[in-house]
Amino acid sequence: MPQIQTSDRPDGARASQERVRIGVITAMQGAVVTALLSAPEVIRETNISIGSLVVISTTASSIYGMVQAMNGGGPSPDGAGAGARTIEIQLLGEIPVGKDGAYGRFHRGVTFYPHFDTPVFTADARDLELVYAPQELAIARIGAIHQNQAIPAYASIDDMLAKHFAVLGTTGSGKSCVVALVLHAILENNPHGHVVLIDPHNEYARAFEGKAELLNMNNLQLPYWLLNFEELTEVVVGQNNAYAHAETEILKNGVVEAKKAFLHDGARGDHITVDTPVPYRLGDLVKIFDDQMGRLERTEEVIAYVRLKAKIESLRADRRFSFMFSRLLVDDSLGKVLARIMRIPVNGKPISIVDISGIPSEVLDVVVSVLARMIFDFSVWAGHERGHKVPVLLVCEEAHRYIPRDEVTHFGPSKKAISRIAKEGRKYGVGLCLVTQRPAELSTSALSQCNTMIALRMSNVRDQEFVANALPESAIGLLSALPSLAQQEAIIVGDGVILPMRMRFDDLAPGRRPASDTASFSEAWSQDAANQGFVDQVVERWRLQKRH
């Protein structure tokens, strides 16, 4: 490998082609060192800024660090001019240098720390190539690093997916486009993936046209018998119900009996519990209620049964709940439901997009809970089949809605199901991607399990502080850029990238962009295009509950 050239003269024209000496080490504290700049004009002529990669050259290695603070610039003690200017550098890793001058591979951590007066240089293009070069085969290009747009930015597929990742940013910062770009980049060379994307705003169908199985309230099948008892109680009994305790007990006993009644002749029901995912007929459940009601002596005891029967009939009659409470013949379709949602086999569509925008709010959290729980439970039991592991990625948009920081006002099972994936999913091949514009409202426990974090523009101070607490110390210097990040720019830290970096995402082709464009008021209001026919069409779709 050729020797890297160095120069003592700051020269903007040469800064990207070779190392330029900018100062010397004057202080050290742990993994942070302070360098005194050699001249006031160094910053201007080398474009050094917070987040820039610099090199500390020793006889044993080239140590790489990131500028995390810049100090000085005040008047000197004698009043003759500007005072000393220093930069604080977070040490990140090193490339060992052999006796023959050949360079090895970059690795995190520093073996031999620099001494006082050790020179500090800008990182040239070759340095950036060596540091950010992919060190494994399973990678995906997602953009270019900020310091040099000619150097690609790669993500480690296995580390990012297996150890979970989060996409954070304010509204309009481009989170949906980032999710689409990352998934496209990963699936480009891994077309047999298994991705389940929870889409609360019907954005992603356009981005993955022809590559995704589109599921919505018109074709989604999540039969009621897939619900565990906690989920079923939420739907049938609800909250703030004076008869909740009595109804819950009646429902629990009735469901167990109905499940046993569904078993084929001769089949034993000893293994059946209220949470066992086996079918049962609502007709059998209602009949059980009727039989029990006939044995009651006091009228007030009947009220809970009557309420339960009325609620079940209401759910069966309401078209909005047909994906869950269908009147069709009940059969054991668990395998088919799982295969379709988890894309087994893939059949050219590695993603299933679950559009929950049209699902009634009364059962929305329950649907998310069922999806997350089924994916995890299937993966747990699939682990017993040798050679048949099917890693799955669950992408959860608007994650703060389902796993919030607030422990009181939210439906518990959805948070429990997703949090379980965050904590234990890696063991069973279930990856998690959390996407939110409100990181401060997200469960700290779940976010802390995301070992790769993609932070886009973020102007809210509370959100910035929350993200700062979740970031590793080596990335703190990059936080100051969060409010001023441009469109398509992000700060990425964690196991999914070789080093914390500020980068720019690649352009996403128009046909691969989610339908998340902000409405143009000025363009729409410049002409009177809508008429009564438009209103009538919307009303018709509204009444028929058809989104398209």
Longest dimension (CA), the chain: 101
End-to-end CA separation in angstroms for the chain? 59
Give pLDDT, residue 307. 93
Strand boundaries in 165-264, DSSP class E: 165-168, 195-199, 212-215
pLDDT at 469 exceeding the cut of 70: yes
Average pLDDT over residues 39-63: 87
pLDDT at 328 exceeding the cut of 80: no
Q: Give the ranges where 103-221 is alpha helix by DSSP (H).
A: 125-132, 157-162, 175-188
Question: What domains are there in the chain, each with its CATH number?
Answer: 6-132 (2.40.30), 154-220+333-510 (3.40.50.300), 225-321 (no CATH)
Give the type of residue at 35: A
Average pLDDT over residues 60-88: 75
User: Do 439 and 12 meet the contact criterion of CB atoms below 8 Å apart?
Assistant: no
pLDDT at 331 exceeding the cut of 50: yes
User: Do 455 and 491 meet the contact criterion of CB atoms below 8 Å apart?
Assistant: yes
pLDDT digit string (tens) for 250-299? 999 999 999 998 886 556 677 899 999 999 999 999 999 999 998 887 77
pLDDT digit string (tens) for 110-153? 988 999 999 999 999 989 988 988 767 789 999 999 989 999 99
Average pLDDT over residues 456-468: 87
Q: Which of 469, 475, 471, 464 is nearest to 503 (CA)?
A: 475
Give pLDDT, residue 14. 37
Distance CA 202, CA 501 (A): 31
Give pLDDT, residue 481. 83
Average pLDDT over residues 365-377: 96
Average pLDDT over residues 191-217: 95
Give pLDDT, residue 9. 42
pLDDT at 304 exceeding the cut of 70: yes
Give pLDDT, residue 471. 74
Average pLDDT score over the chain? 87
Average pLDDT over residues 26-42: 90
Give pLDDT, residue 208. 96
Helix axes 229-236, 302-317, angle to 10 degrees: 90
pLDDT range class, residue 78, cuts 50, 70, 90: very low
> ω into residue 483 within 30 of 0, thus cis?
no
Predicted TM-score of the model (pTM): 0.88
pLDDT at 3 exceeding the cut of 60: no
Average pLDDT over residues 406-413: 73
